[in-house]
Structure 1
Amino acid sequence: MSFTKKASFETYSQKDKKLKQTLGVRDFLALGVGTIISTSIFTLPGVVAADYAGPAVVFSFLIAAVVAGLVAFAYAEMSTVMPFAGSAYSWISVLFGEGFGWIAGWALLAEYFIAVAFVGSGFSATFQSLLAQLHITLPSALANPMGTKGGVVDLISLLVIVVSSLVVWRGASDAGKVGQVLVVLKVVAILTFIIVGLTVVKGQNYVPFIPAHNPKTGFGGFSGILSGVSMIFLAYIGFDSIAANAAEAKNPKRTMPVGILGSLVIAVVLFSAVTLVLVGMHPYAEYAGNAAPVSWALAQAGFRQLSVVVSVVADAGMFVALLGMILAGSRLLYAFGRDGMLPSALGKLDHRGLPTNGLLVVTLVAVVVGAFFPFAFLAQLISAGTLIAFIFVSLGMFALRPREGKDLPVATYRMPFYPILPALGAIGSVFVFEKLDDLAKLYASLWFILGIIIYTLYGTNHSKKKTAEKK
């Protein structure tokens, strides 16, 4: 049965050798940190504090980080054993079979399509606020997605996605170099905010640190903290974009675990520090509905010029996130085409050894979603798709370990406390998924129904693994 027919390690390894191995540790740390610390750090802390957890929003970030960290250990080990394009899709295809790999990959594809559009729109919102300070306002038709506030197309979102794709088209190495420069600027800006913000922090803004729970609104208490976790979790999905580019890593046995775990550690520290400073600067209720709390907090505290600088750097950070997501999405589509799960044209490399067709499709879909359609109601779908892939990867550890040193290479990095940690990673991912709102679960279900239809009508008939069996 093709659904459970396991992919060949040797076949993937040979096919992906065509991709140029140009990315080093600094490239992956830049892409990882740039992808994780992007739109979320400049938007989510204030909103979640106001709507769910109050000052205890830092606990929401830490709980989300623990769950993501458990899965990151599994990602790090798998990426050293199987440094293939497509990350979870390719790994699960080898460990559990073609159909299970397709489900995991289809979940990640939703993440990348929507995440690129999500970040592009976030970039647009921040950029338009900067233009407004210069008394420049775009016509409503060009400033908003179709059907929103008289909009037809979000022109800035469209342009930044296209420009990001052009940088990626030049090659993963160029994208990595751009990422390194912009990530340094972003981290400097975040550290500046932390240092300056500490000078105006007021102790009374932390009291009570965990507000009493209101059962009518869901705000406060441990329940509010847990609700905040589901909102915040999308902040930590960026390390998957590192794994998706494993086939282009120099010395992946060292590069991958350092890139994955290192970027997550840096992100946790910065997220926690920004969150604590932010809720200490102003009462958390004042951040309700504020999509740019960091810039707003600085401006309200009298640091207007610094607020502008932080907004500019925030856009630079979002640009790095776009590079990482577009890189990962195009490599995932390449993996689908490589295996015949989607049209084989997606699995072809251009004369430079790059998956240009996959890049083009990611760009077109993201432009349509981000520039022409309101997407806020789909934001949690980013987390939904990623969490499903995380569950597969965590459970995949139980299939990986018995095969290491037999038909699969021995890992150069091994997940600690096996089998306890992978079990906790799977359980934690299921828990966070359950905390997503009902609409997110509904849209995720519809996406997977579409995926099963495509697999049944196309994938099972064109899979190259199945074709190879018939020969």
Structure 2
Amino acid sequence: MKEDPSIYEDKDANLVRVLTVKDFLALGVGTIVSTSIFTLPGVVAADHAGPAVVFSFLIAAIVAGLVAFAYAEMAAAMPFAGSAYSWINVMFGEFFGWIAGWALLAEYFIALAFVGSGLSANFRGLLVPLGINFPKSLSNTLGNDGGIIDITAVIVLVAVAWLLSRGVNGAARVENVLVVLKVLAILTFIIVGLTAIHIENYVPFIPKYHVNADGTAFGGWKGIYAGVSMIFLSYIGFDSIAANSAEAKDPEKTMPRGILGSLVIAVTLFVAVALVLVGMFKYTKYANNAEPVGWALRQAGHSGVAGVIQAVAVIGMFTALIGMMLAGSRLLYSFGRDGMLPAWLGKLNKHNLPNHALFALSAIAVVVGALCPFAFLAQLISAGTLIAFMFVSLGIYPLRRREGKDLPEPSFKMPLYPVLPALAFLGSLFVFWGLDVQAKTYAGIWFAIGLVIYFGYGIRHSYLGKGNKRFKSSSDDGE
């Protein structure tokens, strides 16, 4: 059974439309260009691709760009909270909408905990030269090297939740300022790094193929492909823009410009950083290096700039947390709005903000961050999101048949229809296939849990299934 799109328009009508193209560009760049830009170019070059890491970034960007076109048309035609979850509900029906939404929920739960932990580690690293050291009990997660709680990660997640609970306008202003600082720092690295490039480090640009000790591919096109699956995780942040489309001014124009514009900026920065980094030192120097950008700058005699970059890396993670928490809370709100999860998640407060969903998401992220081994779960973010991307890509076909009928004719449409939607689907499948077996296994477990919840709770409480389509997510009196 498919949802009537007019019902989502009614349900989301109370959300305040305040976000502009500038806000969405900052939100997208802040989420996509996170700490990974300071680590992934070196890691992927050393482990898989050598200087050809640039090709890995470009191939991942092409696939992300194809999906972003589909996202832009969907968001322009259906500016609903919840992005892929709501769209697929309208296009394919409730069950498939649940699968897509559940896939994205994994991204937000795990990514928030993962980035919070990374921010904590980098922040504590900045304090060490000042003689400030946190005890292990307050630095590590429960049961990990004497840890009880990562107090910094908890404080940061709570602080971001508090900021967003005050309204998206204020959070957007903070995001805009921090993203500008981050981009300036990245440009500084590129300019300084260009003075230390040695052309011989680019030769051979595509190293000869061999198998690493851990069984993964290095060199040749197989090495480049192995890098694509690792890198693609960095580009999926444009979903955080789409999830907030119900709060966009003039969404038909705002959403495509925000989604596609932020991806273009991000790809340009990633490729430039990768080219400079592998040109400064031989790619083998970045093996097992947790901070290749900072290391390269220090080795080139720019320790001051390296310190600034590390500080900005912390700021970069803060902007990513804002984007992911904002998007994740809107997705969780959408589940509650439709009765698929407890209805209180779909309630708005007196300021028309979905703070119930926001606080629930934050609490779960804190618990996940306290208990879960991030290294084993990181790729689940990519696995779940890629499945949602496949649904959205295929959703363009039924969307075109309904545009100008029960859905408006959007001002932006995916070009080269019907070829590009198919390529977007195949590209996502191509990247998904490159994930390791462990990531696919964890994805399978996550979807099994989702099916239990859907058949045990969601299908019985769904407003769509009950035919009660006039559920209102209006302000409750308790706040």
Q: Return the alpha-carbon distance in structure 2 between the equivalents of residues 71 and 382 of structure 1.
A: 16
Pair 251,142 (structure 1): closer, same or farther in 2 beyond 3 Å: same
1:244 aligned partner:
243
Structure 2 counterpart of 1:40, from 33, 36, 40: 36
Q: Would you say the 8 A contact 2:244–2:327 is kept in 1? A: yes
* 2:460 alignment partner, SS class: helix
What letter is aligned with 2:347? K
Residues 1:468 and 2:472 aligned together = no
Question: Using the alignment, how far apart are the partners of 2:120 and 2:52 within structure 1?
Answer: 30
Query: Is residue 199 of structure 2 the alignment partner of residue 203 of structure 1?
Result: yes
Give the structure 2 partner of residue 284 of structure 1: 283
Residues 7 and 469, structure 2, Cα contact 8 Å, conserved in 1: no
In the TM superposition, what is the alpha-carbon distance from 1:149 to its structure 2 partner?
Answer: 2.4
Q: Counterpart of 1:54?
A: 50
Partner Cα separation in structure 1 for residue 52 and residue 128 of structure 2: 33
Aligned to 1:293: 292
Output the CA distance in 2 between the equivalents of 1:125 and 1:202. 32
SS in structure 2 at match of 1:208:
coil
Provide the alpha-carbon RMSD of the alignment. 1.2
Q: Report the Cα offset of residue 278 of structure 1.
A: 0.8
Q: Is the 8 A contact 1:186 1:313 kept in 2?
A: yes
Structure 1: tracts of 5 or more residues without a match: none
Aligned to 1:360: 359
Deviations 1:396-451 (A, max 9, x none): 00110011011111111011000110000000101100100101000000000000
Distance 2:170 2:263 in 1: 23
- SS of 1:238 mapped into structure 2: helix
CA distance in 2, matches of 1:117, 1:43: 18
Aligned pairs for 1:287-366 within 5 A: 287-366=286-365
CA distance in 2, matches of 1:125, 1:210: 34
Matched letter for residue 81 of structure 1: A
Please identify runs of 4+ aligned residues in structure 1 that moved more than 3 A: none
The one-letter code sitting in structure 2 at the alignment partner of 1:6 is K
Alignment of 1:6 with 2:5, yes or no, is no
Please say which of residues 224-233 and 151-160 is displaced more in the overlay.
151-160
Distance 2:143 2:45 in 1: 30
1:148 deviates by 2.4
Q: Out of 24, 27, 46, which is 1:28 matched to?
A: 24
CA distance in 2, matches of 1:61, 1:106: 27
Report the Cα offset of residue 373 of structure 1. Answer: 2.9
Is the aligned partner of 1:420 residue 2:431? no
Task: Give the deviation of 1:268 after TM superposition.
Answer: 0.5
For residue 415 of structure 2, what is the amino acid of its counterpart?
P
Three-state SS of the structure 2 residue aligned to 1:255 is helix
Listed as ranges, the gaps of 5+ residues in structure 2 are 471-479
Asked if 2 retains the 8 angstrom alpha-carbon contact of 1:154 and 1:372, the reply is no
d(CA) in 2 for partners of 1:147 and 1:194? 40
- Could you tell me the percent identity over the aligned residues? 64
Cα shift at 1:469: 6.0
Does 1:153 pair with 2:149?
Answer: yes
Distance in 2 of aligned mates of 1:166 and 1:297: 37
Deviations 1:94-147 (A, max 9, x none): 000000000000000000111111111111121121111222211111112223
- Say whether the 8 Å CA contact 2:49–2:220 is kept in structure 1: yes
User: In structure 1, what is the Cα distance between the partners aligned to 2:282 and 2:158?
Assistant: 39
User: How far apart are the structure 2 equivalents of 1:345 and 1:116?
Assistant: 22
Equivalence map 1:51-450=2 (5 Å)? 51-216=47-212, 217=215, 218-450=217-449
- The CA distance in 1 between the partners of 2:469 and 2:436, in whole Å, is 45
CA distance in 2, matches of 1:67, 1:46: 21
1 CA distance for matches of 2:231 and 2:161? 26
Return the offset for 1:305.
1.3
Change (3 A) 1:23 1:197: same
**In structure 1, what is the Cα distance between the partners aligned to 2:98 and 2:451?**
9
